[in-house]
Amino acid sequence: MSKTARTLLKVLVDQRRWRYVDFERAFRRAAAQVLTEGSRNLTVSEAQFRRWTAGRVQTLPGPEACTVLEHMFGVDAAALFEAPPSVAPAPKFNLEDEILMTARDAQSEAAEAAAASISDTTLDQLRDDVATLARAYSRTAPFDVFQRARELREEAETQRGRTQVPAQSQDLLIVAGQACALLATAAFDLGSLDGAKRLCRSAALYGETARFDPLRAFAGGTLAYIAYFSNQPAEAARLARQAQMFTGLGDLARRRLAAIEARAFGYLGDAASAQRALDASQADGQGATDDLHDGVAGEFGFTAERLAMSNSSTCLLLGDGDQAAAAATRALELAAQRPAALRSARVIGGAGADLAAARLLRGDLDGAAEALEQVWVVPRDQRATGLLTRTARVRRALTGEPFRGAQLAGELGERIEDFTRLSAQHQLGTGSGLLAALEA
């Protein structure tokens, strides 16, 4: 107890060893218990608390504040602001009252914590929605994916603003990051390289903030892919190697990154490094998995047919028509083994275009025409960046020797031009900055 206390209120506060924050919390709870509905939010500022306990008041506080103080201390409000008796009363202590007060405090604070969280059902639904979109990506128009992914990212951010539970905040960061990664991929498929790059870096930042390395690795691989299409193959190789340094990646994630690295080295003309990366992309692995590439999968995964299609493009860059044809044929065979509803038109079309290019390398114009039958059936809204750059490569090959002037070569070239003109990119006016010399 303070020997210089000028009010009984100060004595009683000291007996309870209350700081201002303790007094203010007790005051608010008492107000909620004894005041009417419209006055229950009554509080006391720290400056007012100091004046009350120091005896620097000329008149009693308002009636509502006096009612709360009397409920807190069991003493008439006027006595609280008078000098304490010469012999201070013994502290009023009742064990049962203390237990009940502690129980009420715990209940109130637990309720406040519950109000600062979101339903687990809401979080589960957001996770499921992102996973569903990722798994349907290969069979959905990129524009539709972009629209839905934007909604999911915004919803994840809205829910993140409503929770103060660290575990929920981290989960929502991951969900928002996954949605952002799908936005980046859709933007790329629609031909917006700058937009895709910004979105991809945002996805990587989400992964970094959430300490979720699989998302950082996926975003890093996509950034490498964008660099490749931006005529920066050396940067693409660097980014792909850098992404492989993240821990906690499954075999599938590493195969994807190795395939992207191989493509970059193929564009650079570094046959030895490209072959090394090709071999790494096809290695058996250690049976490792991760929650993104294997757990969510879909667009975050890397199916065997996508791997074969990617490697066929690398072989074309290296001028190896036989190996390119074998890889493209393998991609088509693997895709055909899936149920019709689960086949990716973009993968089938891309592999068909690569097979056509490989056959042209060997001088087989009729074989190229046959392979292009896999391309023509791809719907307009799914003619994404990768497929369009593959068909552009075939178009250039058809104008060179020994096909220049051949009637079939001219017909195929015109058909490719129509195929591109009717694509979503051309209709939306995106993709003008893409380099036609690159294939996906």
- pLDDT tens column, 129-188: 999 999 999 999 999 999 999 999 999 999 999 998 999 999 999 999 999 999 999 999
Least confident of 116-125, 323-332, 346-355, 388-397: 116-125
Task: Check if the beta carbon of residue 388 is closer than 8 Å to that of residue 423.
Answer: yes
pLDDT of the residue at 327: 97
Short-list 345, 259, 339, CA closest to 304? 259
- Does residue 439 have a pLDDT over 60? no
pLDDT of the residue at 184: 97
| Containing structural domain, residue 99 | 8-115
pLDDT of the residue at 426: 63
CA distances from 180 to 186, 341, 407 (A): 10, 26, 46
Does 339 fall in a domain?
Answer: yes
pLDDT of the residue at 93: 53
Does 176 fall in a domain?
Answer: no
pLDDT digits (tens, 9 = 90+) for 219-258: 999 999 999 999 999 999 999 999 999 999 999 999 999 9
Average pLDDT over residues 78-99: 66
Q: Which residue has the higher pLDDT, 300 or 83?
A: 300
Average pLDDT over residues 90-112: 60
Short-list 289, 291, 263, CA closest to 278? 263
Does 135 fall in a domain?
Answer: no
Output the six-digit token pair for 87.
């012999």
Least confident of 13-17, 124-128, 281-285, 358-362: 13-17
pLDDT of the residue at 103: 65
- Does residue 276 have a pLDDT over 90? yes
- Does residue 3 have a pLDDT over 60? no
Average pLDDT over residues 80-101: 64
Give me the chain's average pLDDT, please: 88
Does 96 fall in a domain?
Answer: yes
- Does residue 91 have a pLDDT over 80? no
Task: Check if the beta carbon of residue 269 is closer than 8 Å to that of residue 234.
Answer: no
- Does residue 424 have a pLDDT over 80? no
Average pLDDT over residues 251-279: 97
CA distances from 115 to 111, 170, 171 (A): 6, 18, 18
Task: Check if the beta carbon of residue 232 is closer than 8 Å to that of residue 283.
Answer: no
The DSSP code sequence of 272-288 is: HHHHHHHHHHTS---S-
CATH number of the domain residue 363 falls in: 1.25.40
Q: Which residue has the higher pLDDT, 55 or 206?
A: 206
Percent of the chain with pLDDT over 70: 88
Q: How far is CA 368 from the centre of its chain?
A: 40
Q: Which residue has the higher pLDDT, 414 or 8?
A: 414
State which of 115, 150, 166 marks the end of a domain: 115
Among positive and negative, which fits the CA dihedral 99, 104, 107, 109? negative
Does 83 fall in a domain?
Answer: yes
Does 101 fall in a domain?
Answer: yes
State which of 82, 115, 148 marks the end of a domain: 115
State which of 96, 115, 134 marks the end of a domain: 115
Q: Return the residue matching tokens 């490989």.
A: 358
Task: Check if the beta carbon of residue 258 is closer than 8 Å to that of residue 281.
Answer: yes
What total of structural domains would you count in the chain? 2
